[in-house]
Amino acid sequence: MTKYIENFKKFQPLLYELVARDVKIKYRRSVLGVLWTLLNPLLMMAILSVVFSNLFRFEIENYSLYLLAGQILFNFYNESTSGAMTAILGNASLIKKVYIPKYLFVVSRIASSSINVLSSFCALILVMLFTRTELHFTMFLVVIPLFYIVVFSLGVGLILAALTVKFRDIIHLYGVFMTALMYLTPIIYPIEMLPGWVKTIVRLNPLTGILDIFRDVVIYNTVPSAAQFMVSFVIVCFMLLLGLWVFYRQQDEFILNL
Amino acid sequence: MSDIIIKADHVSMRFNLASEKVDNMKEYFIRRLKRKVNTDDEFWALQDVSFQVEKGESVALIGLNGCGKSTMLKTIAGVLKPTAGKVTVNGSIAPMIELGAGFDMDLTARENVYLNGAILGYNKEQMRIYYDDIVEFSELTDFMDVPVKNFSSGMLARLAFSIATIGKPDILIVDEVLSVGDFRFQEKCEKRIHGMMKEDTTILFVSHSIAQVKKICKRAIWLEKGHIREDGASEEVGSRFERAYYAGELE
């Protein structure tokens, strides 16, 4: 165990450099640069709330906030896991030549997406201020659902990264899967409007639980029950352990398939 | 002074040529269904290779293409895990297995210096100290803010060599690196390698130029088809290798 921690410490500067690289390259040659992480969710929300408050009407108060909260979490999940999926493949040239703990590449992709989710969260607060929504003290609890979603994405990302090295098909499959997952997460609609069996499926989606907690503390000024926290916590931990297990079992074979 | 820094203990490396081609699910499941075991598609890049390198030694690996030199270096660098046997390394390694492996083409030379430094395990403060030295040695002062995709291969090689040789690595791995760059820069590199050897850095050197091997290394290991054919002073082994080559003994 100490060996792992020492190894991690040695490569911590590398993690920093990798994250910096991701961020730099993403916004290189764009005029507004990092400001886009703030603008993007705002513009998306503007479009979606115009579409959904005129075309399809859901009886939700503060619909734009409801939508934006869902968007932020789901986009983070989408971006970070899709990024993590190609983390090993994309760094093949490095992995083939130098010894680097390979999970570092996955962690760096998740970390750079986490920077995005933080600034998107600032966008959410801006909207709340702008629409004169009350900010509540429960807001401080937001670190918990954010932490959950980051760890959950890390677990999923590790599995995807390991499997994608062996089966490139996953890259194509995952895009389709994400579209399905988007409709199975209550982002644009309230979960109550669903018919019985669909509701069950949506409830089983781990993202739903985390998103509920997120909305509760940010928008609705309610503290979710301990059971809610526990259920999500267990799922998240399970995902991380599963991810680590799959990744460590596969990682020595990466180089043969790159 | 008999600290053993690298110890290769009966190292064998097998590549399964057939299973490596499987990178989509269809093929995988077909293979699964057929329960195909292709033993005839195996390729042993290394077979039962054992040697030891002491601290401060300079060792060259020579042999024809495909004899297992690069595979050997990769197992030492920790990139490949041997199928059988064990490689023990006591110390830090500065790998130059291929030049510019750690370069991100979209980043500038300056950013790449820090990125590569981090790959070698140096933090930002340490890199700041080495930075001027790297720029000076690579003679790229005017180009540090240019994205490296605009660099020529010679410039890339100079930058990569300058970064890899900073600090005091215990082991320096040089794989076909000195064949790039002009004559003057090659000389400069050799000088630097000699300087590092004086400071007790162990050198592992791969080159097809026997003259260079004789010049830089004291010891040479001749690999042939994954086996060690000879291990001894670079002068003798190198000469015998050349003789065997010209006699047409090597296929």
Please report the ipTM that was assigned to this predicted complex: 0.74
- Residue B200 C-beta-side C-alpha neighbours within 13 Å: 10
SS3 for B121? coil
Residues from chain A contacting residue B174 (CB–CB below 8 Å): none
pLDDT (0 to 100) of residue A74: 93
C-alpha to C-alpha distance for A148 and A156, rounded to whole angstroms: 12
Looking at the domain assignment, is residue B58 inside a domain? yes
Number of independent structural domains in chain B: 2
Residues of A (26-85) whose Cβ lies below 8 Å from B = 28
Residues from chain B contacting residue A251 (CB–CB below 8 Å): none
Residue ending a domain, among B136, B168, B200, is B168
Q: Above 80 in pLDDT, residue A125?
A: yes
The beta-carbon neighbor of A98 closest among B15, B81, B101 is: B101
Looking at the domain assignment, is residue B97 inside a domain? no
Q: Same domain, yes or no, for B173 and B149?
A: no
Q: Same domain, yes or no, for B12 and B86?
A: yes
Q: Same domain, yes or no, for B74 and B188?
A: yes
Residues of B (15-74) whose Cβ lies below 8 Å from A = 15-16, 19-20, 22-25, 28, 74
The beta-carbon neighbor of B77 closest among A24, A99, A256 is: A99
Residue ending a domain, among B139, B168, B197, is B168
Selection from B76, B53, B56, B6 nearest residue B195 by Cα: B56
Q: What's the domain range around B114?
A: 103-168
Is A97 in CB contact (< 8 Å) with chain B? yes
For residue B205, is it left (φ>0), alpha (ψ between -120 and 50) or beta? Answer: beta
Q: Tens place of pLDDT for every residue, chain B, 251 residues? A: 458 888 888 888 888 766 555 666 677 777 667 665 554 567 888 888 888 888 888 888 888 887 888 888 888 888 888 888 888 888 777 766 566 667 888 888 888 888 888 888 788 888 888 898 889 888 888 888 888 888 887 888 888 888 888 877 888 888 776 666 678 888 888 888 888 888 888 888 888 888 888 888 888 888 888 888 888 888 888 888 888 888 876 65
pLDDT (0 to 100) of residue A149: 95
Looking at the domain assignment, is residue B98 inside a domain? no
C-alpha to C-alpha distance for A123 and B196, rounded to whole angstroms: 53
Spatial contact of B157 and B76, defined as CB atoms under 8 Å apart? no
Cβ A28–B106 below 8 Å, yes or no? yes
**Partner residues linked to B147 by β-bridges:** B108
Q: Same domain, yes or no, for B87 and B134?
A: no
C-alpha to C-alpha distance for B123 and B130, rounded to whole angstroms: 11
Check residues A243 and B99 and name the one with the higher pLDDT.
A243
Q: Same domain, yes or no, for B9 and B125?
A: no
C-alpha to C-alpha distance for A108 and A80, rounded to whole angstroms: 10
A6, A8, A17: best to mutate for the B interface, most B CBs within 10 A: A17
Closest CA of chain A from B25, distance in Å:
6
The beta-carbon neighbor of B77 closest among A21, A98, A167 is: A98
Residues from chain B contacting residue A17 (CB–CB below 8 Å): 114-115, 118
Strands lying side by side in the sheet with B42-54: B42-54, B4-16, B84-89
Cβ A169–B24 below 8 Å, yes or no? yes
Looking at the domain assignment, is residue B212 inside a domain? yes
Q: Same domain, yes or no, for B84 and B129?
A: no
Looking at the domain assignment, is residue B232 inside a domain? yes
Closest CA of chain A from B190, distance in Å:
22
pLDDT (0 to 100) of residue B1: 46
Q: Same domain, yes or no, for B117 and B207?
A: no
Q: Same domain, yes or no, for B158 and B177?
A: no
**pLDDT tens digits, A173-217:** 999 999 999 999 998 888 888 888 888 899 999 999 999 999 999
C-alpha to C-alpha distance for B165 and A144, rounded to whole angstroms: 45
Helices (H), strands (E): how many in chain B? 8, 9
Is A2 in CB contact (< 8 Å) with chain B? no
Looking at the domain assignment, is residue B129 inside a domain? yes
Residues from chain B contacting residue A256 (CB–CB below 8 Å): 15-16, 19-20
Work out whether strand B42-54 and strand B84-89 pair parallel, antiparallel, or are unpaired: unpaired
pLDDT (0 to 100) of residue A157: 96
A76 confidence band (pLDDT: 50, 70, 90):
very high
Q: Same domain, yes or no, for B149 and B221?
A: no
Spatial contact of A4 and A103, defined as CB atoms under 8 Å apart? no
Is A257 in CB contact (< 8 Å) with chain B? yes
Residue showing tokens 């299973």: B19
Looking at the domain assignment, is residue B251 inside a domain? no
A99, A166, A168: best to mutate for the B interface, most B CBs within 10 A: A99
Q: Same domain, yes or no, for B70 and B183?
A: yes
Distances (CA, A) of B216 to B5, B68, B200: 19, 21, 14
Supply the mean pLDDT for chain A: 87
Cβ B122–A13 below 8 Å, yes or no? yes
Q: Same domain, yes or no, for B181 and B67?
A: yes
What 8-state DSSP symbol labels residue B104? Answer: -
Looking at the domain assignment, is residue B75 inside a domain? yes
Cβ B23–A98 below 8 Å, yes or no? no
Output the CA angle A65-A70-A73, nearest 5 degrees.
125
> B116 burial class (0-12, 13-18, 19+ CB within 10 angstroms)?
buried
Cβ A12–B123 below 8 Å, yes or no? yes
Q: Enumerate residues 6+ apart whose C-beta is below 8 A from B6.
A: B52, B53, B76, B87, B88, B89, B90, B171, B202, B204
The beta-carbon neighbor of B118 closest among A17, A95, A252 is: A17
Q: Same domain, yes or no, for B173 and B87?
A: yes
pLDDT (0 to 100) of residue A176: 94
Q: Above 90 in pLDDT, residue A236?
A: yes
Is B111 in CB contact (< 8 Å) with chain A? yes
The beta-carbon neighbor of A14 closest among B19, B101, B118 is: B118
Is A249 in CB contact (< 8 Å) with chain B? no
A159 confidence band (pLDDT: 50, 70, 90):
very high
Residue ending a domain, among B168, B187, B220, is B168
CATH number where B63 lies: 3.40.50.300
How far from chain centre, in Å, is Cα A214? 13
Both tokens assigned to A19: 């994250």
**Percent with pLDDT over 90 in chain A:** 37
The beta-carbon neighbor of B80 closest among A14, A25, A255 is: A255
